[in-house]
Amino acid sequence: DGGITQSPKYLFRKEGQNVTLSCEQNLNHDAMYWYRQDPGQGLRLIYYSQIVNDFQKGDIAEGYSVSREKKESFPLTVTSAQKNPTAFYLCASSKRDNYGYTFGSGTRLTVV
């Protein structure tokens, strides 16, 4: 079955450490997105990509980086510059006109 896979489900990061969250889709969608969800804050956009080798910053891109080398994959790196990374991270993909917006099951990142 087609879908989006996020891994790992839970991730623990030490202070000053970079970590990478994986997002893979087999829906043949052109666009992919990363959102951050904090309690009571709703979803906030970190980065999105409409085509391979191209991506745009969202509202809260500082301290994060992404790559889009393959259509199926859109990994997110949380760098040490992100001072408050503890949150629930959601990856999504869609056709270019926002049809078929599909979310992964999320990665919960905790700083220890």
Partner 1 sequence: KQEVTQIPAALSVPEGENLVLNCSFTDSAIYNLQWFRQDPGKGLTSLLLIQSSQREQTSGRLNASLDKSSGRSTLYIAASQPGDSATYLCAVGNQAGTALIFGKGTTLSVSS
Say if residue 8 is preceded by a cis peptide, omega within 30 of 0: yes
* C-alpha torsion 9→15→16→21, nearest 10: 10
57 binds partner 1 (CB under 8 A): no
Nearest to 99 by CA among 6, 28, 19: 28
d(CA 58, CA 48) in angstroms, rounded, equals: 7
33 binds partner 1, rule: CB under 8 A: yes
DSSP secondary-structure letter at 68? Answer: -
Give min distance, CB of 92 to partner 1, in A: 8
Q: Which listed residue (67, 75, 106, 111) binds partner 1 by CB under 8 A?
A: 106
Task: Convert residues 62-101 into a mask of x (bound to partner 1 by CB under 8 A) and - (unbound).
Answer: --------------------------x-x-x---xxxxxx
Which DSSP helix (H) or strand (E) runs through 98?
none
Minimal distance, residue 13 CB to partner 1, in Å: 19
Site membership for partner 1, residue 35 (CB under 8 A): yes
Q: Which residues bind partner 1 (CB under 8 A)?
A: 6, 31, 33, 35, 40-45, 48, 50, 58, 88, 90, 92, 96-106, 108
